[in-house]
Each structure stands twice: as C-alpha cells, then as structure tokens.
Amino acid sequence: MKAGEVFLPDDEDFRHFKNECISDQGWTICYDKSGCRVSTKANSLSAFDVVRVRRISIIIYFHLKKISLDSI
C-alpha cells in the first residue's frame, strides 16, 4: 500500500486495525494519566509517527430490581 492510497477494507484489514488498537507491541507510551494513554509508533510510509490516543473507561452496570408497590 502506498501513502495516500484509498481502498475498501476487508475482514483482514479490520482484524489488523483491531490488533493495532489493542496491542501495545511496537508502541511507545508518551503519556499515561487519568485514564488517557497516548502512544507513538514509527511509520515506514512517512516521516511522521503514528499517534494513538486511548481513553480507558470503566463501565459500571447496575441491576435494578423491580419492587411492587404493595410490598412497601
């Protein structure tokens, strides 16, 4: 693939994209504070590094129990 080339991604492209989002292999962490992580990675197609920003969120699920008004 050449810089600036446009194509329709297939399943393998999506797997590669997902792996790049999840894996820290090859990435240099520049900032990691308050649930925000910024990493850089060398780019063979350009003089510019690739920058990845990840926001780490904690999702809390609440289980709400239905209570009959008769039981109050």
Q: What is the pLDDT of residues 23-61, one digit of tens each?
A: 889 999 999 998 889 999 998 888 889 999 988 776 666
Radius of gyration over every alpha carbon of the chain, rounded to an integer in angstroms = 21
What is the side-by-side order of every strand in the sheet holding 36-41?
28-33, 36-41, 50-55
Show the DSSP H helices in the chain as ranges.
11-22
Q: Is residue 12 part of a domain?
A: no
The Cα–Cα gap between 16 and 39 comes to: 17
Where in the sequence is the domain holding 37, given as residue range(s)?
26-64
Give the pLDDT of residue 4.
Answer: 78
pTM, 2 dp:
0.58
Q: Is residue 14 part of a domain?
A: no
Q: Is residue 55 part of a domain?
A: yes
Structural domain total, the chain: 1
Q: Is residue 3 part of a domain?
A: no
- Higher per-residue pLDDT: 71 or 43: 43
Residue type, 69: L
pLDDT band at residue 13, thresholds of 50, 70 and 90? very high
Residue 41 bridge partners (DSSP): 50
Q: Is residue 17 part of a domain?
A: no
Give the pLDDT of residue 1.
Answer: 64
Give the pLDDT of residue 21.
Answer: 84
